[in-house]
């Protein structure tokens, strides 16, 4: 199939290749939106890629008091990892260091599921014997005395093995500013999709990577095919007048969520047109043999 | 599978052991077989047909009693599923050791209602007798899960040795409410009698007021505006509006009973 031009933007006939992950979700609440968001931002910090962060995490959405278990403002965060063990370790460390410590916070399960990740069940020992277990409406909560009162934390949260990581769009353009606007616009559109996150800074990654390296011990290295300064000296994927490339990586609790996010991002980016936004849109893959999930851009174009 | 309705024809001549008349034990029996089920606790030898007329009803997994009596002992004993409704009073040990299903008693219940229950719900429209949910002599723990709601008053030692679960008493409670509690939650929307929380180890008590104050072995912690109370208030909202209103009030927290472990908490409305 040839490339398709949509609103002047060339959408390449290629696909994003994504991988199975294990994922979970948490709901963080606080006395105010500001502090719920602060705890969520802190606990999802340094969680861009499992290459070195252990987990990929981000904010799914803000919740009103009517949507949270305790009636206070909240934020739902998603975390995806390569294994259940790593996910468990990351959830306990991040909630323990970033949510437990945040003023007025509480933490609840954000996902149902038979398989569980320990949250309060792992953190309760912080209370040094003063922890209180309460079972309310079939759910177990731990109450840990802390200096501003009590940290309430649900015992565990659900786990899904159907999570997908690595959905992506690669936005290429003639001006750096325009590509950034396209990426920002696409990330904003993806933010409205439930159960999906864009874990990189502001949802955007400017240093897309390829698998492997010429150096021993490095698993990933700069994606030279998309580096404008290497055009001509490497097998480039870029058009002659492309000067800037940004990538958006999407993780989701389901494959459908990743597809929905990519569809939303694609629509938002193409709507800007090639002058204000990206002139070419592609996606990253490894030939199709590494990841189980393939998202063809042609099929995502409405 | 159909349910059954037992209509009381005369006051029982002796205390009855109604434990055979739970949905799971009646499943697969015919009306004739049910009429011969023995309910006696003495040599009188009362059978179902002696005191009830039996009729099948459409609703499955359900047992109804038309009329009640304080001689209806051991009703719902050990049930794991289904529904029992009593349109009147019942005797002692209502729903003892039940682990699932629901029992509704429109009238009063005798002592040891919900003794040692592990799951399911019991609702008592009238008053409950002494030792609501409590253990029988020699047992180490009382209520071990599930939910009990008493619309009227509860007798002495409500929630005795309770270990898990929720009890809501919308009226007053007798002396020693929550005595020897191991854990769990006890809410009293009326006045609690003398020495509430006597020798409680852990667990949560929520009292609207007390008749004679708190035991001297409870330490005042201070005003409590806790996230946990929001969760409890929400859970109570569907079960008991008066209890939910109490949980939403300004509460003072006390720790006790310091005469024992002292990790229990008692919330008293201000």
Test B228 with A141 for CB contact under 8 angstroms: yes
Neighbouring CB atoms inside 10 A of B269's CB total 15
Nearest by Cα to A251 from A261, A241, A242: A261
Overall pTM surpassing 0.90 (yes/no): yes
Please state, in angstroms and rounded to a whole number, the distance separating the CA atoms of residues A37 and A28: 8
Rounded Cα–Cα distance for residues A109 and A116 (Å): 10
The H or E element spanning position A33 is: helix A33-43
Q: Are strands A139-146 and A132-136 parallel, antiparallel or unpaired?
A: antiparallel
Measured between CA atoms, the residue of chain B closest to residue A104 is B227
Contact assessment for residue B16 and residue B71, using Cβ atoms and an 8 Å cutoff: yes
The strand pairing partners of A109, in sequence order, are A26
Q: Convert the pLDDT of each residue in B28-58 to its tens digit.
A: 999 999 999 999 999 999 999 999 999 999 9
Which residues in A138-163 are b (16+ Cβ under 10 Å) and which e?
eeebbbbeeeeebbbbbbbbbbbeeb
Which residue in A has a C-alpha nearest to residue B239's C-alpha? A137
Return all residues near B235 (Cβ < 8 A) that are at least 6 apart: A136, A137, B166
Residue with tokens 């999906």: A196
DSSP string, A270-297: HHHHHHHS-SEEE---STTSS-SEEEEH
| A interface test, pick of B187, B226, B228, B253 with most A CB neighbours within 10 Å | B228
Instruction: Say yes or no to pLDDT of B156 above 90.
Output: yes
Query: Is B228 at the interface with chain A, CB within 8 A?
Result: yes
A55-103 pLDDT per residue, tens: 999 999 999 999 999 999 999 999 999 999 999 999 999 999 999 999 9
Q: Which residues lie closer than 8 Å to A86 by C-beta, 6 or more apart?
A: A50, A54, A55
Establish, for the pair of chains A and B, how many residue pairs have beta carbons separated by less than 8 Å. 44
Which residue of B227, B234, B265 is in closest CB contact with A106? B227
Q: Which residues of B touch A136 (CB under 8 A)?
A: 166, 231-232, 235
Q: How many CB atoms lie within 10 A of CB B121?
A: 21
| B231/A136 Cβ within 8 A | yes
Alpha carbons B206 and B188: distance in angstroms, whole number: 6
pLDDT at A290: 81
Question: In chain B, whose CA is at the least distance from the CA of A137?
Answer: B235
For B235, the closest of A133, A137, A152 (CB atoms) is: A137
Burial A105-115 (b: 16+ CB within 10 A, else e): bbbbbbbebee
pLDDT tens digits for range A107-148: 999 999 999 999 999 999 999 999 999 999 889 999 999 999
Question: Where does the pLDDT of residue B77 fall: very low under 50, low under 70, confident under 90, or very high at 90 and above?
Answer: very high
Q: Report how far residue B57's alpha carbon sits from residue A159's, in angstroms, rounded to the nearest whole number.
A: 43
Which residues of chain A lie closer than 8 angstroms to B227, CB-CB?
A: 29, 70, 72, 106, 149-150, 152
Selecting from B202, B204, B231 the residue whose C-beta is nearest the C-beta of A70 gives B231
- What local confidence, expressed as pLDDT, does residue A1 receive? 60
Q: How far apart are CA A248 and CA A237, in angstroms?
A: 17
Chain B stretch 175-214, residues whose beta carbon is closer than 8 A to a beta carbon of chain A: 183, 185, 202, 204
Confidence check: pLDDT of B220 > 90: yes
Which chain B residues are Cβ-neighbours of A27 within 8 angstroms?
A: none
Check residue B165 and give left, alpha or beta (phi > 0: left; psi -120 to 50: alpha).
left
SS3 string of B4-53?
EEEEECCCCCCCEECCCCCHHHHCCCCHHHHHCCECCCCCCCCEHHHHEE
Residue B1's pLDDT band, with cuts at 50, 70 and 90, is: low
Percent of chain A with pLDDT over 70: 99
- For A154-190, the three-class secondary structure string (H helix, E strand, C coil) is ECEEEEEEEEEEEEEEEEEECCHHHHHHHHHHHHHHH
Prediction ipTM score: 0.92
Give the per-residue pLDDT at B60. 87
Residue B225 confidence (pLDDT): 87
For chain B, the first-to-last Cα distance in angstroms comes to 52
Q: How far is B171 from chain A (nearest CA, A)?
A: 22
Mean pLDDT estimate for chain A: 96
Please write the tens of the pLDDT for every residue from A188-224.
999 999 999 999 999 999 999 998 899 998 888 999 9
The predicted structure's pLDDT at residue A286: 87
B36 CA to chain A: closest CA distance, Å?
40
> How many Cβ atoms sit within 10 Å of the Cβ of residue A212?
10
- Reply yes or no on whether the pLDDT at A42 is more than 90: yes
């Amino acid at each position: 199939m040839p490339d398709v031009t949509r609103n002047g933007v060339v959408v390449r006939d290629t696909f994003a290749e994504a991988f199975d992950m294990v994922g979970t979700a948490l709901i963080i609440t606080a006395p105010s939106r500001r502090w719920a968001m602060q705890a969520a931002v802190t606990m999802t910090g340094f969680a861009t890629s499992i290459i070195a962060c252990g987990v990929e995490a981000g904010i799914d959405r803000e919740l009103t008091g009517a949507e949270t278990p305790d009636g206070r403002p909240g934020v739902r965060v998603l975390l995806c990892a390569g294994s259940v063990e790593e996910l468990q370790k990351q959830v306990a460390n991040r909630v323990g260091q970033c949510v437990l410590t945040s003023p007025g916070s509480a933490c609840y399960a954000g996902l149902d599921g038979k398989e569980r990740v320990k949250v309060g069940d792992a953190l309760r020992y912080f209370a040094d014997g003063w922890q209180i277990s309460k079972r309310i409406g079939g759910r177990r909560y731990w109450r840990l005395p802390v200096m501003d009162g009590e940290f309430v934390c649900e015992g565990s949260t659900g786990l899904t093995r159907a999570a997908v990581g690595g959905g992506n769009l690669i936005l290429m353009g003639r001006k750096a500013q325009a590509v950034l606007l396209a990426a920002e616009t696409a990330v904003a559109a993806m933010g409205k999709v439930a159960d999906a996150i864009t874990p990189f800074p502001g949802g955007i990654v400017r240093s897309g990577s390829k698998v492997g390296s010429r150096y021993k011990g490095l698993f990933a290295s700069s994606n030279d095919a998309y580096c404008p300064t290497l055009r001509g000296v490497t097998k480039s994927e870029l058009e002659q007048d492309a000067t800037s490339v940004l990538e958006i990586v999407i993780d989701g609790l389901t494959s459908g969520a990743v597809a929905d996010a990519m569809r939303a991002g694609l629509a938002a980016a193409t709507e800007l047109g090639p002058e204000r936004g990206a002139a070419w849109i592609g996606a990253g893959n490894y030939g199709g043999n590494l990841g189980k999930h393939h998202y063809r851009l042609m099929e995502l174009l409405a | 599978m159909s349910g059954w309705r037992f209509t009381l024809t005369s006051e029982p001549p002796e205390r009855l052991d109604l434990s055979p008349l739970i949905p799971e034990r009646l499943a697969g029996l015919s009306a004739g077989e049910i009429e011969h089920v023995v309910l006696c606790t003495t040599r009188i030898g009362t059978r179902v047909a002696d005191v009830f007329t039996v009729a099948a009803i459409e609703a499955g997994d359900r047992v109804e009693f038309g009329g009640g009596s304080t001689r209806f002992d051991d009703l719902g004993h050990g049930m794991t599923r289904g529904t029992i409704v009593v349109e009147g009073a019942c005797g002692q040990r209502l729903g003892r050791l039940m682990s699932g299903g629901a029992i509704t008693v429109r009238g009063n219940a005798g002592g040891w209602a919900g003794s040692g229950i592990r799951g399911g719900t019991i609702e008592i429209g009238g008053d409950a007798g002494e030792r609501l949910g409590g253990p029988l002599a020699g047992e180490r723990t009382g209520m071990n899960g599930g939910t009990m709601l008493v619309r009227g008053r509860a007798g002495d030692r409500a929630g005795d040795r309770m270990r898990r679960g929720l009890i809501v008493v919308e009226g007053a409670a007798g002396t020693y409410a929550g005595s020897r509690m191991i854990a769990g939650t006890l809410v009293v929307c009326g006045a609690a009698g003398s020495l509430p929380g006597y020798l409680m180890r852990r667990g949560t008590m929520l009292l609207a007021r007390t008749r004679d104050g708190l035991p001297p072995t409870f330490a005042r912690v201070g005003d409590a505006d806790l996230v946990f109370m929001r969760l409890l208030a929400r859970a109570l909202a569907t079960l008991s509006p008066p209890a939910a209103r109490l949980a939403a009030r300004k509460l003072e927290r006390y720790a006790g009973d310091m005469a024992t472990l002292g990790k229990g908490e008692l919330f008293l409305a201000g």
